[in-house]
Amino acid sequence: MKIGIIADLHLPKKEFPPRPEPGKKPTPLPDDPVTAGVKAFYEKAKEEKYDFVINLGDLVEGTGNGDDDYMTASMFSRSMISSTVNTYYVLGNHDAMFIPKDLLLHCSQTLGGAYSFIKEGVLFIALDANYSCDGKSYEPGASDWTDSYIPDAQKEFLKKQLDRTDFERAVILCHQRLDLFMDGLEHVNPHVVGNAEEIRNILESSGKTALVLQAHYHSGDDTVQNGIRYYTQQAFFKKYAYSVLTVTENGFAIEKETI
Ligand SMILES: [Fe+2]
């Protein structure tokens, strides 16, 4: 199984083409460089027959105007619909800070943007850490990216999923970092989820989690902690970086690529 991974597109605001003369079709504007890069990525995904793509969040940069940002996200999604490669989205803080969550994903009242799916014996669990530590979901205009949190309902969901018996290995997806990543010796870096330690304990005690895919920290990173690999995907918008995850019977291999 081959999976394409992208993150942190931070799409700029999409502009509309000028109004055409009566009877004529509008001339589409050229794509911004990031959208053009993503299209090239999907061409590659099709050629190389990726089974699916995981987009780890921060689709939009966010202008502060929710209507513009939603338009950017939906125009982008529409332009990707012709792609034959299915994509699983994870909500990023920029997405949730500017657009109501349920406009971008099928969100549930209790789990927000968290969900799971199984492919070839691998259980993928997407988490939504776009909450503040008081358990309140991010809302447009009222969110602080340094305060991210996975609320109790998602912790229970995660435990239940990992207790299932119909899979062999689990991969966790989260926009924000879940590994222990310190600023010097004293502070946990703000790109890490506020209650990441609790989540790591759940993952470690299940014994079935091999890999966590995360983003948000634009330079990317790759660590192994207590037997679990935490791979932080580098941001796409700066250097058109993406990764290819190959899942075999023996394990997971990740290759870094650029467009
Ligand atoms: Fe982010």
Identify residue 119 by its one-letter amino acid code: K
Query: What is the DSSP annotation of the chain?
Result: -EEEEE----BPPPPPPPPPPTTSPPPPPPPPHHHHHHHHHHHHHHHTT-SEEEE-S--B---S-HHHHHHHHHHHHHHHTT--S-EEE---HHHHHHS-HHHHS--BTTTBT-EEEEETTEEEEE----B-TTSPBP-TT---TT-----HHHHHHHHHHHT-SS-SEEEEE-SSB-S--EETTTEE-TTB-TTHHHHHHHHHHHS-EEEEEE-SSTT-EEEEETTEEEEEPPPHHHH-EEEEEEEETTEEEEEEEE-
The alpha carbon of 215 and the centre of ligand 1 are apart by a number of angstroms equal to 7
Q: What is the pTM of this model?
A: 0.95
Percent of the chain with pLDDT over 70: 99
The alpha carbon of 93 and the centre of ligand 1 are apart by a number of angstroms equal to 5
The alpha carbon of 174 and the centre of ligand 1 are apart by a number of angstroms equal to 10
Higher-confidence residue: 70 or 160?
160
Is 80 exceeded by the pLDDT of residue 232? yes
Task: Name residues with Cβ closer than 5 Å to ligand 1, which is an ion.
Answer: 58, 92-93, 216
Higher-confidence residue: 107 or 164?
164
Tell the CATH superfamily of the 2-258 domain.
Metallo-dependent phosphatases (3.60.21.10)
Is 90 exceeded by the pLDDT of residue 112? yes
The alpha carbon of 185 and the centre of ligand 1 are apart by a number of angstroms equal to 23
The alpha carbon of 238 and the centre of ligand 1 are apart by a number of angstroms equal to 14
Say what the alpha-carbon torsion angle 187, 192, 193, 197 is, to the nearest 10 degrees. Answer: -70
Residue pLDDT, tens place only, 177-195: 999 999 988 899 999 999 9
What pLDDT shows up at residue 186?
Answer: 87
Is 90 exceeded by the pLDDT of residue 15? no
Residue ranges covered by each domain of the chain = 2-258
The alpha carbon of 22 and the centre of ligand 1 are apart by a number of angstroms equal to 43
- Cβ neighbors of 156 (< 8 A, separation 6 or more) are none
Q: How confident is the model at residue 65 (pLDDT cuts 50, 70, 90)?
A: confident
Is 80 exceeded by the pLDDT of residue 218? yes
